[in-house]
A = this chain, B = another copy of it.
Amino acid sequence: MLAAWVDGLPANSLGLADRGLHYGDGLFETIAANEGRARFLGAHLARLTKGCAALSIAMPDRDTLRFEIARAAQLAPQVLIKLIVTRGLALERGYGYTGGEAATRIVMGYAWPGEQGAAPAPARTALAVLRCGRPLLAGVKHLNRLEQVLARQEARQRGLDEVILAADEGHVTGGSMTNVFALAQGCLVTPPVAHCAVAGVLRGQLLAAASRLGMATAERRLAPDELLAADALWLTNVRVGVWPVTRFAGRDYPAHECTQRLQRAVLETAMETADA
């Protein structure tokens, strides 16, 4: 970690009574910053606003957040910024909250190679043994991330770059740290947010970029077999960008002509700061 601030002040620790620690009672955003500027900031703040509404957490002042994120973006040429907003210090013991809590803002900057080096090597993936699914909190980027921790461990133990998760009902939800896209009969398909562990910022940007390029897109239920039958697979998050899959469940996927076009198209809008 390069530096961190809690409620605007330099800090390296958090109060023990914070509900973020006790219950994962909070939200986070991972924001990529390049040459001092945070990418997709409007989309990140829009998702944070929705998440705060879903959990009845008081959304911090947006101008304050913008200032604090901009400050973290100056830490290095490329920075990965993690913003955590918790419900704040507990006012009483137990799961219940009073509504009078003051949200805690935590801004942390991490070293990040960015896209300066080579594009990430294509991902070797497989269907996870672990079944995932928590419909109540689908899409919300909350701090309750034990399923993702267990899924990353499965990927590591199996020597994979990523595992693709399915819910008990069988539909694909996404990767352990990524959203998933399949190119099926010329259409770019991804599961609907209601099926996703996170409504990824890059997921939304890729859907929009593909439309601008004239590609058909769809958000619909995806079965693992449809991934196997697809012409190409991509994984997305703001750190890896548009990440091509080279292997899924024993099948090899050749490099696809669309990959570079999609990667470039997504970055075109990275610096628009209008709030969605």
A109-159 at interface with B (beta carbon < 8 Å): 110, 130-132, 134-137, 142-153, 155-156
Which of A4-12, A61-69, A188-196, A214-222 contacts its partner? Answer: A4-12
Say yes or no: is A213 at the interface (Cβ < 8 Å to chain B): no
Q: Mark A1-32, 1 if CB is under 8 A from B, else 0.
A: 10010100001111111111111110010000
With both chains docked as a complex, state the minimum distance between the C-beta of A204 and any C-beta of chain B, in angstroms: 21
Contacting residues, chain B, for A177 (C-beta < 8 A): 94-95
Task: Check A156 against B96 for contact (C-beta < 8 Å).
Answer: yes
Task: Check B1 against A152 for contact (C-beta < 8 Å).
Answer: no
Task: Check B23 against A148 for contact (C-beta < 8 Å).
Answer: yes
With both chains docked as a complex, state the minimum distance between the C-beta of A30 and any C-beta of chain B, in angstroms: 9
Task: Check B23 against A143 for contact (C-beta < 8 Å).
Answer: yes
Say yes or no: is A55 at the interface (Cβ < 8 Å to chain B): yes
Contacting residues, chain B, for A16 (C-beta < 8 A): 1, 4, 6, 11-14, 106, 108
Most B Cβ at <10 Å: residue of A97, A149, A151: A149
Task: Check B136 against A147 for contact (C-beta < 8 Å).
Answer: yes
Task: Check B142 against A95 for contact (C-beta < 8 Å).
Answer: no
A144-185 at interface with B (beta carbon < 8 Å): 144-153, 155-156, 168, 176-177
Task: Check A23 against B136 for contact (C-beta < 8 Å).
Answer: no
In-complex Cβ contact of A24 among B17, B55, B145 (8 A): B145
A contact face: mostly helix, strand, loop, or mixed: mixed
Cα(A141)–Cα(B78), bound, Å = 38
Nearest B residue (CB) for A140:
B146
Say yes or no: is A269 at the interface (Cβ < 8 Å to chain B): no
Nearest B residue (CB) for A111:
B93
Q: Mark A200-244, 1 if CB is under 8 A from B, else 0.
A: 000000000000000000000000000000000000000000000
With both chains docked as a complex, state the minimum distance between the C-beta of A203 and any C-beta of chain B, in angstroms: 17
Nearest B residue (CB) for A132:
B136
Contacting residues, chain B, for A93 (C-beta < 8 A): 80, 110
Binding site for B on A (CB under 8 A): 1, 4, 6, 11-25, 28, 55-56, 80, 82, 84, 93-97, 106, 108, 110, 130-132, 134-137, 142-153, 155-156, 168, 176-177
List 10 A–B pairs whose Cβ atoms lie within 8 Å, in order of A's numbering: A13-B15, A16-B108, A23-B143, A23-B149, A95-B151, A95-B152, A95-B177, A96-B153, A96-B155, A137-B147
Query: Which 8 pairs from chain A and chain B are nearest by CB?
Result: A24-B24, A144-B144, A13-B13, A96-B152, A23-B145, A95-B152, A95-B148, A144-B146
